[in-house]
Every structure is written in C-alpha cells, then in structure tokens.
Amino acid sequence: MSSEKKVFVETPLHESAALSKAAGCRIFLKLENLQPSGSFKSRGIGHYLSTHLKANGSTTGTHFYSSSGGNAGLACVVAARTLGYPASVVVPLSTKPMMITKIKAVGATEVIQIGASWQEADSYLREVILVENKNGVYVPPFDHPAIWAGHSTIVPEIMEQLSRVTSANRPDAIVCSVGGGGLFAGIVQGLDAAGCPDVPILAVETAGAESLNAALKAGELITLPGINSQATSLGAVRVSERAFEYAQRSNVRSAVYNDAEAAMGCWRLADDERLMVELACGVNVAVCYGGRLEKALGKKLTTEDKVVIVLCGGSNVTVDMLAGWRKEYAYIEKEQAVSNEIPSSLTAPNGHRH
C-alpha cells in the first residue's frame, strides 16, 4: 500500500487558563496525546517507516520490528498497519500487561517479552529475531535521523498555530520530556530549520531516569546502572549522542523532578484540562506549579511570555492509576497548599472536591 498515507497528524495547540495562572505566563499545550498512537512517537516512528518504504519500495514480506517499553511499539504497529504492513514488538519484562494488551489490540503480529530492560529487549531483537527474519526491518525507538526529522515537524506547527492567537510566531520557551532524546533532538532541529536556534528549551526528566542530566553533570555520555523511576517511558539508561550534543547548547536547560511531582502533574492535568497522560508526560506539566518553571528556566516570567509544553501523551495510564498516584503522593499537594498554592482538588465551588 502507498507510503503516502498519513502516519501522524497535526495536533492542536491549546492555551490553558489554569496552567497559565499557576505558572504566571501563557502556557500552551501541544496535544501530542492526540496522535494516532496516543503519543508523539507517531511522528518520528511514522516518518521512519514511510522513509524506509520510499527508499526501498514495496517489498513483499516486509515486516517491521520495534523494541520498546510501550509507546514506541504502539506507534510502530499503528503506523505499519496504516501503511499496510505487519509489525511485531519486543518489550522488556518491566512492561505492564496493560501496555502489552494495547499493543496487541492495535494489530501487532506478535509481542515478545524478554529482558530486564529496554536495552536487553533491543539486543534480543537485533541479535536473535532479526538474524532469523531476513525480511525484518529494525525500527529504533529514538536514535535515528529519520526519527528526529519526524519529530522536527512539531516546530513549524507550533509557530504557525501561535501566529494565529498571538502577536508572534515563536515561543519564549519549549518544555519537553527526555527519555532517549528523540523528541528533544527533533525540536532542536526544527528550531534550527525555522531560524530560531536561540529559543530556550527545557529538557525534563524524572529522578531515577535522568540519563541526560547525569551525562551533562559528568561532561560525557554515561550509562545509568538502571532505571529507578515509575516513569518507565523515560527508561533509557543512555541518551543518544546527538541528544547529548544538542543539550550542551547555551539555550538548553535540564531539569529533574521526582515521581511524586510527575504524578501531581498527571492528576492536576486531569483536573484542570480533563486530559489523561502517563508519568513521563505529567512531569512536563509539573513545571507549571510551585514556581518550578521560573526556577528551571532561570529567569522571571511575565504574563505575556509564551511557553509551549509538548504534551507528549503516552498510553500507560488509567483512571485507577491516577487515583492511586493521588493517594500515594497526596503529601505533595499539602506542601503546595502551605506555599499558598491551592491544589486543584480544592478549587471547586464552596471548596467541595471534584
């Protein structure tokens, strides 16, 4: 089938009154949770598949294989099925049954679970499965120029959408999560192509999965001994060389928040914007509260500053998970209430909870 079929879509840019009030500036959410696979991965991986098919033609027997903790695998299967090809996914043992079910539901030929980490699952895919399957096409989750190019398409969309509602077409900052660094690298390339290489970028990670932050502190690419965060979508123990290279630019700042803060971002987003995202995305939203954004960017923000948060999405979330996080990390809202910020659960009329 034709590789011209759309494997990703233009997503809305939504200005959030609630998050803007909390952050003290204009917060725009780039709703990548509305991509066909439920996350930004549709851009990069979809573009990778399309690029491969254009370069190699419609080869009989082509079968795409992805190694993934969840979202990349979902994106691979959704894009492959859209283009008319089969796809299989190899996931580590840490991947939850819910995610495996979702990958199967979107049409995966097979989901193979092996290895303690994504790296081990990826090694098994490349060294065993692809050796046995000559028509198999390896689909990397984040470290490839075609993937970065796919993610870079988010920048011209943001600029055009901003120009419709503001007096400028460039944001004053962009906030994005970093796992392996594919999205981050794409945003840098997109800004370069748009002639705006100086736009500040805040690269956000969770404690226990901060491979980029650790590399920046060490002054060299390093590999974390393991992932100690519930935000398993940020579970790359080593970022790509390109991401590390870009992160050393003067306009890039790195921030790390804990799982409690990431969880708070998830439930506050659900309260304030009726949107459900996983921890790896919620950590972005968390920067809007408690003065975190100004501290991370290292500058005072005005009510006219325009900050875009890439709401990268993710399928590893349910209503029960949100409720569980809120119960487990309830103390963080109490801390913010003490600091004169009202938790969203208390903002209903007459103080009644939602």
Over the stretch 270-298, which tens digit does the pLDDT of each residue have? 999 999 999 999 999 999 999 999 999 99
Residue-wise burial string across 161-193, b where 16 or more C-beta atoms lie within 10 A, e elsewhere? bbeeeeeeebbbbbbbbbbbbbbbbbbbbbbee
Q: In this structure, is the dihedral angle defined by the CA atoms of residues 140, 142, 146 and 150, taken in order, positive or negative?
A: positive
SS3 content of the chain, % helix, strand, coil (to 5): 45, 15, 40
Q: Is the pLDDT assigned to residue 352 strictly greater than 90?
A: no
pLDDT at 338: 44
DSSP string, 157-175: HHHHHHHHHSS-SS-SEEE
Residue 104 CB neighbours (<10 A): 14
Asked if 116 and 123 touch (Cβ cutoff 8 Å), the reply is no
The confidence band for 187, taking pLDDT boundaries of 50, 70 and 90, is very high
Residue boundaries of the structural domains of the chain: 13-40+146-348, 41-142
Question: Per-residue pLDDT tens for 148-170?
Answer: 999 999 999 999 999 999 988 89
- DSSP code of 127? I
pLDDT interval class at 4 (50, 70, 90): low
What element of type H or E holds 136?
A: strand 136-139
CATH of segment(s) 13-40+146-348: 3.40.50.1100
List the structure tokens of 269: 């987003």
Could you say which architecture CATH assigns to the domain 41-142?
3-Layer(aba) Sandwich (3.40)
Task: Output the pTM of the full model.
Answer: 0.91
Taking the C-alpha atoms of residue 16 and residue 265, their distance in angstroms, rounded to an integer, is 14
Domain 13-40+146-348 identical in fold to domain 41-142: yes
